Structure 1
Amino acid sequence: MADAVEAAESAVKVIRVLLVDDQEMVRDGLGALLSSAPDIELVGEAGDGLRAVQLAAELSPDVVVMDIRMPGMDGLAATARIVGPPGPDAPVAGPRVLILTTFDLDEYVYEALAQGASGFLLKDAPARDLINAVRVIAAGEALLAPSVTRRLIDDVARRRRSGSLRPEAIAALTARELDVLRQVARGLSNGEIAEEMFLSEQTIKTHVGRILAKLELRDRTQAVVFAYENGLVGVVGEG
């Protein structure tokens, strides 16, 4: 019985996390919280962006929980260095960045997404939300704090009206890929999309990968922005 339990526990994917914040007290609290989860291992801590870039290269974490305002290199610049540019030459797998900050300001949200962050969460969120966010990001999904999602969509709607469209990119997608992209934009996970479309979760995962490659997008967050920007789903207040 003990052997079976040990085998089951070893089968659980452990998420390796690098924690970055310039305040030691904050790092201590967040580190204790993350370490309390059985599937999360805190592999390192950094107090500034430059050290975060160095440790990300040395430790190869699955997720980097990143503060924004720090001395020297800030979290946005560090995110850009850690994630790298999108495109066919980008690494297949690498650390995903979850921005965790007290600053609920639009420019930080948009800049963080532009630099390749996979999620954005405020520090006043419940503790369970942080653990869930790390799991979501590690699984390849995208996450935005509910308080910023509405503004993100509204901002995308304004840019869409200003003519920021990519019809040639849309034309490169198959009808099935367009359907999957619309479901991603609704915020559904691969499993939920699979249920909606009566397909296997692995098939949906394959479609999502092809969509990101064709559109040269980093992750699902940018896919959501693309879908709203190009009118593939209705914006807030429309319809």
Structure 2
Amino acid sequence: MFQIGYGTTENSPVTFCGTPLDSLERKCETVGYIIDHVEAKVVNPTTGQIVPLGELGEVMIRGFCVMLEYWDDEAKTAETITRDGWYKSGDIGSLDAYGYLKIEGRIKDMIIRGGENIYPAEIEQFLHTHPKIKEAQVVGVKDERMGEEICACIKLVDGEECTPEEIKTFCKNNISHFKIPRYVLFVTSYPLTVTGKIQKNILRDVAEKQLKLK
């Protein structure tokens, strides 16, 4: 039996927690619900407005658990904690009607294409349903007209062959048109940290160089 928890060092450190009696689905797909005496909201990262339940946005926390400040760093504190005490987690997630939180990614990975906020995790989850795709990572690359464009870096199942056009056709009529990758690159590996996490900033640079956008 296990419980799921979520939080940050700045939040001392747990703000969401499940129960041992939660269903397997909730344990696997959410990080639990907000703990007592703590507030949470999900906002549009661009406007700061609260988004409807089930929609993605930046997770923000307020309560006794939020730190006072970063030591001797007023600028970083002002960037992270609002004047009315809301801690900006930098995580992208959604709340359901029961207050359970799903984490979908990091705000620094968000793609802004022509004013639309696009979350790579949504596209990655869809691409993983393609039978030829072993792994997919989505990044934003430079674009003079749109600001950023979507690039899918795809690792195929061993022995499979595929084309960018096949991937784009798979996306059409299944995800929103503005979420369809403009670029599709096939890779054999991803840049990793020493702990095995994918370094999307480096992957973005590699993709831009390969696409000759730099």
Larger RCO (CA within 8 A; separation ≥ 6): 1
Give your verdict on TM over 0.5. Answer: no
- The structure with the largest helix share of the pair is 1
TM-score by length of structure 2 reads 0.32
- The structure with the largest strand share of the pair is 2
